Structure formats: C-alpha cells, structure tokens
Amino acid sequence: MAEKREERYTMSHEQRMIELLTRRTAKHNAAFFTPHLRPSMNVLDCGCGPGNISLDLAQIASSGHITGIDMEVSQISMASAEAAKRGITNATFTQANVYELPFADNTFDAVFTHTLVSHLAEPAKGISEMRRVLKPGGILGIRDLQFSNNIVGPRDHPMIGEGARLFAELMRANGGDPDVGHKLPSIVSTVGFTLLSATSSSDVFALPDDIDWFGQWINSFFALAPIAGRMMELGLTTAEHIEEIQDAALEWGVAPGAFFAMCFVEVVGKK
C-alpha cells in the first residue's frame, strides 16, 4: 500500500477547534462501536483530544478502564481536568504517539479512534499499532472523514464548497487524507482484522442555532494561523480569498436552506 511520508496535524489545538470537539458524544460519534463494549472492558482511545468521547466510553465501561492517548500535552491536561469535573475515576490520559503506543502487546479489550486516522500519513502503520496492543479477539472501532461526500445546502453554494475544497487540499498537503473513510474497510482487513461492520453516518448542522454556530465556527477557523497562514504558506490561496470565504460563512449560517452534513465512515474489526 502506497503511503505518504510527511505529516503535520492540520486542525491545530486552538480554542476554536476544541469548541468543535467538545460537542462530540459517544451516544452519537461512537454509536456504531458502543454495542461491542462491556462494563468490565479495558479500552484505549487513540487521538482522544479533549476527551469528551473517551469519558462517555468510561461511563459505559463502568467497572473497566479507559486510557486516552494524544500526542499533544494540552489535550491530556484538558481531558484529565474534564474527568475530574465529571467525577470519573476509571479514565486516565497519557501523552503518546499512535505509531509507538507505550503499551505491551495484547493489553486492551477494545481500541477506539475518532478523526485521527485522516491526519495520519501512514494510516495502516497506525492501525497496525492499535492491533498490536489489542488482545486476540479484541475489538477495533474507527470513525473518520469521507469529506468529498459531505452534503452542503444550498447545493450550489459556491463559497462553502470552496472553503471545503481548500480545507481538504490543506489536509492533503499536511500528509493526511480527508477521504480516508471509504478506504477503512480495506485497510483494517489488510492489517489483519476480521471486518465485522462498515457503516456511514453524518454530523449534521441544520437547526437554526446549530448552523448559525457552524457558520461562525468556519469564519473563525479560517482566521487561525495553522489554517489561513498555512494555506498561504503553501500557495493554496490568498488572504483576500480567505476573507471572502469567512464573510460568506457568516451569511450562509443565517440564510434559509443552510445545511451541512459531514460524512463519516465507521468500521468495526476483530483481532
């Protein structure tokens, strides 16, 4: 399998990004995976970010344990603080790189990962490492982007489509793959898992408060240095064009017919 070499995490760990991640829940974002969990399980969440999904999983594995890993130390601090705030004692968070997990072979009953693999230049290598730390018979759950299948309303909105196109180009330039979703069934099978399910679902912004919030979010996301600055550094666009996208996002968020469904593919595999 041909894999790219250079890798740089696109999204940044700026507050605006964290605001998107802290809207996530296991009820929605891990619904494909939670039926496989049992209360006593020892579960690993790779690329846990601020830990919202991990801590929901900890409540399902209530007599077991959740370990969240992330390469970024600020995420570990946030996730640990959120665990304390929620009074959750069966979750711990550790700084680590998914390519070199600091755990022995056959440690976990289940491994989960949400929107990490699309940022990996070597997805099969990362997923193989997840497999290494799973016990034989252990369960892997991955949910990740299939960005070219997002649904934008109104369908012909030029600037929202343009913003999405530029963002996807930036992810690719940083070594990631915003369309890794449709490749996941093949990758997990290739690295040795038995594929138990492959499904698709969306994160939808449609109701007035949600889509207004998302328009504002796009507006400020495109102002961030790791997004706007990096796009310009790579010669993908200009400051003027970014401003046009930002203005359009604000107008779109409050316009009739504004709708955004972010497309994801979900796979469950068994070691």
> Residues 16, 24, 131, 271: which binds ligand SAM (CB under 6 A)?
24
DSSP assignment of 193-220: PEEEEEEEEEEEE-SHHHHHHHHHHHHH
User: 């579960």: which residue's tokens?
Assistant: 43
- Choose the binding region for ligand SAM from 48-56, 81-89, 210-218, 241-249 (rule: CB under 6 A): 48-56
State the nearest-atom distance from the C-beta of 84 to ligand SAM, in Å: 19
Task: Output 109 or 144, the one with its CB closest to ligand SAM.
Answer: 144
Residue 124 in the binding site for ligand SAM (CB under 6 A): no
Give the CA distances from residue 237 to residues 35, 96, 168, 170, 188, in Å, rounded to whole numbers and listed in that order: 44, 34, 13, 10, 35
Residue 53 in the binding site for ligand SAM (CB under 6 A): yes
For the chain, give the longest Cα–Cα distance: 54
- Choose the binding region for ligand SAM from 64-72, 147-155, 226-234, 256-264 (rule: CB under 6 A): 64-72
Residue of minimal Cβ distance to ligand SAM:
49
Q: Would you tell me how many other CB atoms lie within 10 Å of the CB of residue 258?
A: 23
Joined together, the tokens standing for residue 158 give 């030029």
The footprint of ligand SAM on residues 181-210 (CB under 6 A) is none
> Residues 16, 114, 131, 183: which binds ligand SAM (CB under 6 A)?
114
Joined together, the tokens standing for residue 113 give 């990962």
Name beta bridge partners: 212: none
CA 91 to chain centre: 20
State the nearest-atom distance from the C-beta of 156 to ligand SAM, in Å: 29
Task: Output 71 or 223, the one with its CB closest to ligand SAM.
Answer: 71
State the nearest-atom distance from the C-beta of 210 to ligand SAM, in Å: 17
Fill in the per-residue mask, 145 to 164: x = in contact with ligand SAM (CB under 6 A), - = not in contact.
Answer: --------------------
Task: Output 16 or 119, the one with its CB closest to ligand SAM.
Answer: 119
Task: Output 28 or 238, the one with its CB closest to ligand SAM.
Answer: 28
Residues 6+ apart with CB under 8 A from 54: 45, 48, 66, 68, 79, 91, 93
Name beta bridge partners: 121: none
Q: Residue 66 and residue 41: Cα distance in Å, rounded? A: 8
Q: Residue 35 and residue 31: Cα distance in Å, rounded? A: 7
Could you list the residues that contact ligand SAM (CB under 6 A)? Answer: 9, 11, 21, 24, 47-49, 53, 70-72, 75, 97-99, 114-116, 119
